[in-house]
Amino acid sequence: MVNLFLFTGEEFSRRTKIETLLDQLIPAHLRPTNLSRIFADDLNWQSVLTQASTPSLMGGAQVFWILQADRIKKNDYAAFETYASKPCGESYFIFEADELSNSHPLVKLADQFGKHVHLEAGGSDGLNAIRNKLKRSGKTFTPEAWQIFEERLGASLRLMDMVLDQLILYCEGSTINEEAVNGLCHEFLKYEPFDLTEALAKKNITEALKIFHFFYEVNGDMTSMVGLIHWQLKRIWQAKRMLEHGTRPNEISRALKIPPFRLSSFLAQARRFDLEAVEKLLKRLWQIDWNSKKGSGDETVAMEVFFAEVA
């Protein structure tokens, strides 16, 4: 197996790929000690490469997962290039970014010494992961139910995955029909991710907390909750960047898979957010997610503090 992996493109799909890879590289009980998840802004090459060159005290492979790799300065790869040419056999690097050009030094390093996996937005990887989960559960959708499932959830892979868990859990029998999907949406999904970020845009923290606790009670998993909020904030961040570059609304709709009926209100919501503030919220969410996976602190309190910081 190669020691260097670069994942770019659609977030849900690449996270699915990374989690699968991590399962191959590190046993679950070694993740707290042998997995280092590092934001690009906090990356210290000397420290990381020294650690990568030293066998883990706990034994087994160690993995360095670098997030937001697009933020690493392009002229900062000299030391890593030297390491990548002769890597330590038990150390692996996973880099993750939304988009990188083919001329980017990290892409070139991945092509030369490792593997670059790019997941297209709207591609089949994320949906295949959801369909595979459905297959493993032993259940199937009727064609009509699947169509409603996609339309009702706005083609959000995050939300589709979350609701699928509920359908698998609560639907009796092996076939999930149109009535079951409509019933679950009516009973469990009186809110949408849009409603949560709308409350944040209006700085209505009471409403935001109410919606957050609703989704958390439905899903019961903080990692999925953080991912759901991150997904919607990331779309807002992308929309703001696109608007700054003069991208037309219909192009934003296609790129971010915003349904036409929602486009006007979504863009109005995006305009109410400050770009720098969204970036800080995204980084804070990643920290909460990481602390949650390490079992560090009370995750529910951390999220409540997160919402309070918006005010």
Classify 65 as helix, strand or coil. Answer: strand
CA distance 121 to 178: 27
Q: Delimit the domains of the chain by residue range.
A: 4-119, 121-189, 191-311
What would the two tokens of residue 111 be? Answer: 């092509």
Name the one residue in this structure whose structure tokens are 């892409």. 107
Is the Cα torsion angle 180, 183, 185, 188 positive or negative in sign?
negative
Topology (CATH) of 4-119:
Rossmann fold (3.40.50)
Name the one residue in this structure whose structure tokens are 């999904």. 189
CA distance 230 to 281: 9
Q: What local confidence, expressed as pLDDT, does residue 293 receive?
A: 59
Q: Rounded to two decimals, what is the model's pTM?
A: 0.59
What stretches of the chain show up as alpha helix (H) in DSSP?
Answer: 11-25, 31-34, 45-52, 78-85, 105-113, 124-137, 143-152, 157-170, 178-188, 193-201, 205-219, 222-244, 249-256, 260-272, 275-294, 299-310
Same topology, domains 4-119 and 191-311? Answer is: no
Return contacts of 288-292, CB within 8 angstroms, 24+ apart: 288/226, 289/222, 289/223, 289/226, 289/227, 289/230, 290/37, 292/222, 292/223, 292/226
Q: What local confidence, expressed as pLDDT, does residue 160 receive?
A: 81
Q: What local confidence, expressed as pLDDT, does residue 114 receive?
A: 95
What would the two tokens of residue 77 be? Answer: 């790869």
Q: What local confidence, expressed as pLDDT, does residue 219 receive?
A: 63
CA distance 176 to 145: 7
User: For residue 228, how many other CB atoms are within 10 A of its CB?
Assistant: 22
CA distance 124 to 78: 35
AA identity, residue 157: L
First to last CA, the chain: 47
How does strand 140-141 pair with strand 175-176?
parallel
DSSP letter, residue 202: T
CA distance 78 to 310: 39
Q: What local confidence, expressed as pLDDT, does residue 214 receive?
A: 82
Report residue 72: phi and psi, to 5°. -75, 135
Mean pLDDT by 10 residues, the chain (311 residues): 88 85 91 91 93 87 93 91 92 92 94 92 72 91 82 66 84 89 76 85 90 78 75 89 92 82 87 90 84 69 85 64
Q: What local confidence, expressed as pLDDT, does residue 152 receive?
A: 66
CA distance 218 to 220: 6
Question: Quick one: CATH architecture of 191-311?
Answer: Up-down Bundle (1.20)
CA distance 269 to 130: 29
Q: What local confidence, expressed as pLDDT, does residue 111 receive?
A: 95
Tell me the sheet residues that pair with 39: 67
